[in-house]
Structure formats: structure tokens, C-alpha cells
Amino acid sequence: MDHILEARSPAFCRATESKIEQIEPGIRRQMLGYGSDLMLCRVWFDQGAIGQLHSHPHSQTSYIESGRFRVVIDGQQRDLGAGDGFFIAPHLKHGATCLEAGVILDAFSPAREDLLRVEG
């Protein structure tokens, strides 16, 4: 197993003490906890920000904490808002456009090693 995935976050995470990184124009991410099999991130989007279409080998489920988003998964598109969620099976192309500034909580299984490398 890769040494990065042998690591895990502290048992408790204070949002005020966790690093927030700019990942794309208008998009910021904060790690809220991870182990080798699970990861949770909070992602802030400015209105008009675009999470480009991409895919990865991880399962992903997301919860829209606030705002409105146009979400595309495997060619299907839905407009979703606060309280809504979505699931992305491994390898499906997906992305989101922020229609109204907001926050999404993203959970990945297993943890996304690529995000941990960026996190440092």
C-alpha cells in the first residue's frame, strides 16, 4: 500500500484550524478527515465557478450544504440545491457548475491519494 494512504487525519478536525486551499478559480477545498478507505472534504464555490468534467476510480457521494449547482454525471444533468445530494460511481465522468455561491461536502471511498499529495 502507498505510504500516503497509510496515513490518516487526526481524530478531531476543527474547521478553524484546517488548511483551505485554492484548487481552481473560484473553488476552495478543506480536508475534514480521512483514512485509507474514506475521505471527507468541504468545497466552496463562487457563483459561476466550474468543476470541470473528470473521472476517478473512487466512489463519491456529495451533499449540497448551500447554494445551487448544475451537476452532470455520465451525461445526465440536474440542477440541485441546499439539502440535495448525488452519488458518482467509479470512473463516471462528472462535473458541476455553480449557479449560486455555495458549499458541497464530498466523501470519497477509498480516500483520494491524489488529493492527499496536494494537501501535503
Query: Bridge-partner residues for 85, per DSSP?
Result: 63
Rounded to whole angstroms, how far apart are CA atoms 85 and 83? 7
Average predicted confidence (pLDDT) for the chain: 92
Q: Which fold has domain 33-104?
A: Jelly Rolls (2.60.120)
pLDDT at 103 over 60: yes
Of 31 and 118, which is predicted with more confidence?
A: 31
* Cell numbers at 57, concatenated: 476510480
pLDDT of residue 118: 56
CB distance 35 to 8 below 8 Å: yes
* Cell numbers at 37, concatenated: 478507505
Q: How confident is residue 48, by pLDDT bands cut at 50, 70 and 90?
A: very high
State mean pLDDT over 20-49.
96
Q: What is the pTM of this model?
A: 0.90
pLDDT of residue 5: 54
pLDDT at 116 over 70: yes
pLDDT at 32 over 50: yes
Annotated domain spans of the chain? 33-104
Q: Among 12-16, 40-44, 102-106, which stretch is predicted with the lowest mean pLDDT?
A: 12-16
